[in-house]
Amino acid sequence: MRSFGKKFLTTASITAIASVAFAVVSVAAPGIASARCAGQGNEVRSTLVVDGQEYVAESPDTGSCNGNNTYSAHFAAKVSGLRASVWIQNNGVWTPHYGSGYNMSGNNYSYTDNNSNSLMTLCVDDGIDAICGWGTDWVFGAGYFPVDVAPYGVNYGF
C-alpha cells in the first residue's frame, strides 16, 4: 500500500511536505466550504481537495434534504490506494463512516439525529496517516485521524 509520503512527493512540493511531516497542520479557523444539505431541498456536493487534487467527494442522495432528521449519501476516494471516510459530529461526538477499502469504490451511508443539524468532515487515509478537512482546508495526522481539529462543514435541513 502506498504511503502518503510517497504520494505527496509526486503531488506537492518538498517545502509543503516538510511543513506537514509528522505534525498536525493547524488551520487558523474552521471554514465552511459548503454544506451537504444547505437547508431543506438544497443538496450540495462536498469535497476534500489537497494541493489542487480532489481526494474525497461526498453527495447527498436525491431527496435526502427533506427535514425528516435522516441523512443518506454516497462518497468515494478519488485517489487509488487511499480509503475515504466521512465523520459526523452530533452532540459533541464524532462518528466515522469508513469506505469499503483502499480503492475508489463508491460507498453509501446514512444517519439520524434529533435536529437535522450536524458537523461533517471528510478524511482519507493510507492505513497509517490521515488527512481530514473540508474543501481546500485540511490537516494532516501522523498515525491518527485529526477530526477534533479538522475544518468542517455544517449539514442542516436533512
The yes-or-no verdict on residue 150 having pLDDT over 60 is yes
Q: Which is more confidently placed, 117 or 54?
A: 54
pLDDT digits (tens, 9 = 90+) for 20-79: 332 333 333 333 334 489 999 999 999 999 999 999 999 999 999 999 999 999 999 999
**CA–CA distance, 72 with 149 (Å, rounded to integer):** 25
pTM assigned to the model? 0.81
**CA–CA distance, 130 with 118 (Å, rounded to integer):** 22
